[in-house]
Amino acid sequence: MRTPQAVACINVLSLQHNLKQVRQFAPDAKILAVIKANGYGHGMETVANALLDADAFAVGTMQEALQLRSITKDKAIVVLQGIFDASDIQQCVAYNLQPVIHSEYQLELIETAKLDTPIRCWLKVDTGMHRLGIQPDQLTSMLGRIQQAANVDRPVTIMSHMACADDPAHVENQLQIETFDDLEVDEKLPRSLANSAAIIAFSGTHYDWVRPGIMLYGISPVQDRTASELGLQPAMTLKSRLIAIHQLMQGDCIGYGATWQCPEDMSIGVIGMGYGDGYPRHAPSGTPVLINGKRVPVVGRVSMDLITVDLRELPGAAVGDEVILWGEGLPIEEIADEAETIAYELVCRLTSRVEYQLVS
Ligand SMILES: *Cc1c(COP(=O)(O)O)cnc(C)c1O
């Protein structure tokens, strides 16, 4: 059997634990578990099967929704980008999908479609992020049209999305929360505002449905607290192995561009993982990896298939030793900081070369 080098171990129990943490933070809200982008890179099927206790699932696109429907027959599925043309509406009926209406053209498509069964919809209002959503002053007229539309199964859920909840002190948060609170909406209509960061930082935003994504995967959504401080467990541990060890001389240079030079005679380890697997190429020298429970620094540039590390602090390291790139014992948030990106991007961009293994 082929022995894989890059492996993403997905811990099903951690996913389930994190869902329970969401319930602790938002005990009175229903949970729309966001599993877009292949379950934030953890594998849509794995995540969907692990999180069957969620009240509904959300994905980004119609394509993802159809994939998810082949995995779960009866769970409600919300399509965050909604429909784009008449055939999408027919798919929503055929596969029982709930589109978000974020633009007037989408309501027009639904109004003029010929449907046997009405579809359940979510209506997205722009409260200040200025990405998707109708404007607050369009809401009354849109709701009036929805009230008349035979093709819409009521009630519609009113939703919006926050731009800065990861930075709780940001002034934009209160502005968006007030705008959402002030919307002229029948009190009986269900509402949804909070992503992971808002679930944690703003308990007043929970309303009827919360929409956690990143925290389900055990990654902290807020800048000022770590995942472990929030009681979250990393669901993905990315691993590889040492595939070579070299004794080099003072002054020897490592890797492309010869950007790192040995300050003394020393040993260098080579790991079978690189940006071709999804490890960030911009992780600089000094970024930690975990070998036999000890952190050692990356030295030199990350290349497509390989990473080099300084083994001076780990004289017992041997070819074949397991290396953890992030996950258990090495928070992905730290690696993201080193590479000047966010953990969301790191988990989403693992490539097809990485083999997935489930642990539970
Ligand atoms: C992706 C997404 C979420 C989840 O956001 P997290 O920060 O991952 O919790 C919630 N709502 C909408 C509309 C989204 O697009």
Closest CA to 245 of 325, 305, 317, 324: 317
Q: What is the mean pLDDT of the chain?
A: 97
Is the Cβ atom of 38 under 6 angstroms away from ligand 1?
no
Whole-number pLDDT of residue 43: 98
d(CA 116, CA 153): 12
d(CA 334, CA 290): 12
| pLDDT tens, position by position, 243-273 | 999 999 999 999 999 999 999 999 999 999 9
Sign of CA dihedral 38, 39, 41, 46: negative
Work out the pLDDT band at 3, boundaries 50, 70, 90: low
Is the Cβ atom of 196 under 6 angstroms away from ligand 1?
yes
344 is catalytic: no
| pLDDT tens, position by position, 20-62 | 999 999 999 999 999 999 999 999 999 999 999 999 999 999 9
Whole-number pLDDT of residue 85: 97
d(CA 91, CA 227): 38
Whole-number pLDDT of residue 221: 98
| pLDDT tens, position by position, 298-323 | 999 999 999 999 999 999 999 999 99
Whole-number pLDDT of residue 229: 98
Q: What is the mean pLDDT of residues 96-114?
A: 98
Is the Cβ atom of 133 under 6 angstroms away from ligand 1?
no
Whole-number pLDDT of residue 112: 96
Q: What is the mean pLDDT of residues 61-88?
A: 97
d(CA 78, CA 252): 55
| pLDDT tens, position by position, 208-233 | 999 999 999 999 999 999 999 999 99
Q: What is the mean pLDDT of residues 124-143?
A: 98
Hey, which of 21, 31, 34 would you mutate to test ligand 1's pocket, going by the most ligand atoms within 8 Å of its Cβ? 34
Hey, which of 195, 210, 223 would you mutate to test ligand 1's pocket, going by the most ligand atoms within 8 Å of its Cβ? 195
Å from CA of 353 to ligand 1 middle: 27
- Looking at the predicted structure, is the pLDDT value of residue 4 above 80? no
Task: Give whole-number Cα distances, 356 to 6, 69, 291, in Å.
Answer: 9, 21, 20
Class of the CATH-defined domain 236-359 = mainly beta
Domain boundaries, the chain: 12-220, 236-359
Q: How many residues comprise the chain?
A: 360
Å from CA of 70 to ligand 1 middle: 22
Q: What is the mean pLDDT of residues 114-124?
A: 97
Fold of 12-220: TIM Barrel (3.20.20)
With 0-12 CB in 10 A as exposed, 13-18 as middle and 19+ as buried, what is 298?
buried
Is the Cβ atom of 81 under 6 angstroms away from ligand 1?
no
Work out the pLDDT band at 360, boundaries 50, 70, 90: confident
